[in-house]
């Protein structure tokens, strides 16, 4: 069965109206907003609202929760469509071409579905996608990525210095520390079929045998009632510090024990357990090597990206002619009514140019 690619499902919601706004109007439609030379039509805006509701429903919400999430999403929907339109227009202005990326993406998608490149349009239609609209959705996405990659992200990376990387490393040292750990084997003696005293006595007897030099793994295979008996009691590795993976009772039992030593009986509700310490590992911080520096650079850039993108979009808004029809003013952010004249010089120039 052919699956609709996730990226196109997402694009249908986020960029659908912006993509449709770039297409020539062939029918009379209401205008929700003007964005320089383009418009956002009422039909495309309604489609975006419809897609938003579907996206919220896919989160498993229903009833009041669904309606609340939908209304919350509506608050930023028109603003998001306008901002995306501004980014796409800027990419066009700079002559950015993404047709090769679109073709590469669709060819790879066809390959994943065992479809020859000559049948890409048929494949998209079988997925329930109009080929022209699918390409336009991808065009919007790749233009948006391209303009941010050219105009925003380089400035972010240019302003990440060694001191920033080192500060991030120290603040998040736990993430870059290999925890101390212990490798354990066990023998578990259950109470079932025995009294508690009998189970404890057998446990202590086995401890004596191990401390006298007998093979722990062999004794585990012969006497352990636990699921690890067949492997000689092997439990594998457990982190200790930070983020311990053993309970407090278990940590106290192995505290101070050297490799090769066994614990005293650890009493449980259904039996007794013996641990043998097979290996120990000390806590170790990763050195701030070039590869880790690059990773931290990316993390810092990701943290700063949202603010930088919003600052860039804010500048695009200031230099653009954007207006919203009176009926939708409450839904579209800080833009004037289309029935009023632009007040700033840049907006006036663009308005006169595109009228």
Instruction: For residues 191 and 147, state if they share a domain.
Output: no
Please check whether residue 32 lies inside any domain of the structure: yes
Average pLDDT for residues 44-52, to the nearest whole number? 89
pLDDT grade for 58, boundaries at 50, 70 and 90: confident
Inside any domain, residue 312? no
Is residue 24 in a domain? yes
Phi-psi region of 260 (alpha: psi -120 to 50; beta: other; left: phi over 0): left
In this structure, which long-range contacts are made by residues 306-311, counting pairs with CB atoms below 8 Å and at least 24 apart in sequence?
A: 308/152, 308/153, 308/155, 308/156, 309/148, 309/152
Tell me whether residue 215 is in a domain: yes
The torsion angles phi and psi of 41, rounded to 5 degrees, stand at -85, 160
Residues 10, 57 share a domain? yes
**307 lies in a domain?**
no
pTM of the full structure: 0.61
Which of these, 254, 233, 253, lies nearest to 185 by C-alpha position? 233
> Does residue 108 lie within any of the structural domains?
yes
Question: What sections of 2-127 are H helices per DSSP?
Answer: 6-14, 16-22, 42-57, 63-93, 99-112, 120-126
Residue 257 belongs to domain spanning: 180-282
For residue 12, what pLDDT band results from cuts at 50, 70 and 90?
very low
Among the three residues 282, 305, 340, which one is the final residue of a domain in this structure? 282
Q: Give domain status of residue 199, yes or no.
A: yes
β-pair partners for 284: 178
In this structure, the answer to whether residues 70 and 129 fall within a common structural domain is: yes
Q: In this predicted structure, what is the pLDDT of residue 329?
A: 87
Taking only the tens place, the pLDDT of each residue in 151-208 is 999 999 999 999 999 999 999 998 899 899 999 999 999 998 899 999 999 999 999 9
Same domain, 132 and 63: yes
Asked if residue 242 has a cis previous peptide bond (ω within 30° of 0), the answer is: yes
Length of the chain: 355
Confidence check: pLDDT of 355 > 70: no
Average pLDDT over residues 269-296: 95
242 plus 338 within the same structural domain: no
> Phi and psi at residue 73, in whole multiples of 5°?
-65, -35
- Residue 344: per-residue pLDDT: 52
Total domains present in the chain: 2
Q: Give a yes or no: residue 303 inside a domain.
A: no
């Amino acid at each position: 069965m052919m699956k609709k690619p996730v990226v196109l499902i997402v694009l249908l919601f986020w960029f659908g109206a912006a993509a449709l706004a770039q297409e020539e109007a062939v029918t009379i439609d209401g205008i929700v907003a003007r964005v320089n030379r383009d418009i956002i039509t009422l039909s495309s805006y309604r489609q975006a609202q419809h897609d938003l509701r579907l996206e919220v429903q896919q989160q498993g919400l229903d009833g009041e929760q669904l309606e609340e999430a939908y209304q919350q999403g509506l608050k930023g929907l028109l603003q998001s469509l306008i901002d995306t339109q501004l980014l796409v227009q800027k990419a066009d202005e700079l002559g950015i071409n993404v047709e090769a990326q679109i073709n590469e993406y669709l060819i790879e998608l066809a390959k994943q579905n065992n479809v020859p490149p000559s049948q890409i349009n048929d494949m998209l239609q079988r997925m329930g996608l109009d080929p022209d609209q699918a390409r336009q959705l991808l065009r919007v996405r790749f233009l948006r990525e391209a303009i941010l990659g050219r105009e925003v992200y380089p400035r972010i990376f240019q302003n990440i210095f060694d001191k920033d990387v080192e500060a991030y490393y120290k603040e998040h040292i736990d993430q870059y520390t290999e925890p101390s750990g212990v490798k354990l084997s066990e023998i578990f003696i259950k109470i079932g079929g025995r009294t508690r005293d009998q189970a404890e006595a057998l446990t202590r007897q086995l401890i004596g045998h191990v401390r006298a030099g007998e093979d722990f793994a062999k004794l585990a295979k012969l006497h352990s009632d636990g699921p690890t008996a067949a492997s000689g009691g092997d439990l594998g590795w457990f982190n200790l510090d930070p983020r311990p993976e053993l309970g407090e009772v278990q940590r106290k039992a192995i505290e101070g024990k050297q490799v090769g030593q066994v614990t005293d009986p650890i009493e449980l509700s259904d039996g007794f357990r013996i641990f043998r310490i097979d290996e120990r590992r000390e806590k170790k911080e990763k050195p701030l090597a070039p590869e880790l520096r690059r990773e931290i650079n990316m993390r810092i850039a990701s943290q700063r990206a949202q603010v930088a993108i919003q600052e860039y979009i804010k500048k695009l808004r200031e230099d653009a002619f954007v207006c919203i029809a009176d009926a939708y003013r409450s839904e579209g952010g800080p833009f004037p009514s289309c029935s009023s004249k632009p007040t700033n010089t840049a907006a006036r120039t663009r308005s006169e140019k595109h009228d």
